Amino acid sequence: MKFLKTVCILALAPLSLGAAAKPVVVGPADLVCALEDAVAAGPPGMSAAIATVDGVIWTGVAGYADLSAQTPARNDHLFGIGSITKPFITVVTLQLVEEGKLKLTDTAHSILGDQIAGLANADLAEIAHLLNHTSGIPSFEDDPVWIREGRGDALDVDHIWGKTEALAYVTGPDHPPLFAPGEEFSYSNSNFTLLGLMIEKVTGNDVVEEINTRIRKPIGAPSIYLEGFEPVPEDRLSRRYHYSTDGFKRDAGINEAFPQVTDTLIDASASNLSSEWTDGGMVATASDLAKFARALRDGKLLNEKSQQYLMDWRLAIEGDYPMWVGHGVFRETRRPGIMIGHSGSVLGYTGYMGWHEDADLIVVALTNAGTMHVGERVMSAPGLAQSAKFNRLARAYAEQGRFGKATEGEEIKGDVCGGE
């Protein structure tokens, strides 16, 4: 990828060109150039994909999957997707509701019983509340002990976590409910651990099998795995790095198995994502994640009623950039416009999967640099995927393909890779 130093002088003129202007040509090199800019800002490697109603129309990579070995990132490399795992669990849950095996009014306790005894609100919060983070059930991810034992200096890197193990950190009298179910919004990983347990209880199958038969096989996306709970091709798994900021050192601590590899990054590849399970334990390629996003957006996985429920919005965050929560996905106000989807951040990885509300454009980005508990703004996959620059490029590229104008315009010279 040494040629990238020469292609990064290509530029993108504004898309709303006057009638006399020639249409802008955006080529694959321009998109890769944007990835190179993102990598230069921090993460070792990045993988991205663009999709439309016609399927995945572009994939690209930049940087390294392995810094020490200087192994370039490839399109078939797997990256952790973090909480983008949650839309998969949402689909399985809503399909089971369609089949009558679950009801939106079921509580975790009504399905799981004493398996989750002592967990606040488990007997009151319904599946509907779990899906849109209004359950009031504390998130184990916010527990200071779990942060150290799940991602930091007290983590046993060889341990494969049990499916209910993380819930123990927020169970008992010292962990009261945050609020009554439905009253407020508070993002909670515990919600989707409970949904994973409920899926297994009512189907009698491992959640991996349900994801495989209901999602991966039907959409032709085999390169999506739940790490720690099924075999993952190690030769395709990107190494995982994490920003070693003062905030991370204070709140999580640096594990002795995580060597410092640059001034700003530790190598957390000795770890695994089993502690996250159904709330954030998946790894995937950008291409297959884009296939999933397309199927989810276009109603290929849910019936009409469930699709409407998926995007039944409730205001979660006010302000200049408001955000709404649906049931398993979010609607966010970003500089490129309104985007619907989900982001993810776990130890060693960040990701974003989403689509534009007003255009046929799906964007996926994955990096091998984690941002959880870092306490400051750093470059991440959502930072690229929701940026104005990358989305202008992606939208132009998609529109060229749709209208067959890819060879009719002109390349505009300038500084696209350094500009917004």
Q: Are 327 and 87 in contact (CB under 8 A)?
A: no
Q: Kindly report, residue by residue over 372-384, the tens digit of the pLDDT.
A: 999 999 999 999 9
Give pLDDT, residue 127: 98
Q: Are 12 and 30 in contact (CB under 8 A)?
A: yes
- Domain boundary assignment for the chain: 44-383
Burial class (CB in 10 A: 0-12, 13-18, 19+), 3: exposed
CATH architecture for the domain at 44-383: 3-Layer(aba) Sandwich (3.40)
CA distance 406 to 399: 9
Which strand ranges, in their side-by-side order, compose the sheet holding 369-370?
265-267, 241-243, 369-370
Q: What average pLDDT does range 399-410 have in this prediction?
A: 53
Q: How confident is the model at residue 98 (pLDDT cuts 50, 70, 90)?
A: very high
CA distance 237 to 393: 28
CA distance 286 to 354: 12
Q: How confident is the model at residue 402 (pLDDT cuts 50, 70, 90)?
A: low
Q: What average pLDDT does range 310-327 have in this prediction?
A: 96
Q: Which of 276-285, 290-299, 398-407 has the lowest mean pLDDT?
A: 398-407
Q: How confident is the model at residue 199 (pLDDT cuts 50, 70, 90)?
A: very high
User: Two tokens at 6?
Assistant: 């020469």
CA distances from 335 to 13, 364, 380, 383, 417 (A): 17, 16, 16, 11, 18
Q: What angle do CA 360, 285, 29 make, to 5 degrees?
A: 65
List the helix and strand counts (H, then E) for the chain: 14, 17
- Which stretch of DSSP H or E encloses residue 47? strand 45-52
Amino acid symbol at 159? H
Amino acid symbol at 185? F
CA distance 53 to 290: 11
Q: How confident is the model at residue 25 (pLDDT cuts 50, 70, 90)?
A: confident
Please check the confidence at residue 413 and state whether its pLDDT lies above 60: no
Closest CA to 328 of 297, 370, 369, 361: 297
Name the β-bridge partners of 52. 55
Q: What percent of the chain has pLDDT over 90?
A: 88
According to DSSP, residue 260 is labeled B
Give pLDDT, residue 401: 75
Please check the confidence at residue 48 and state whether its pLDDT lies above 90: yes
Q: What average pLDDT does range 195-212 have in this prediction?
A: 98
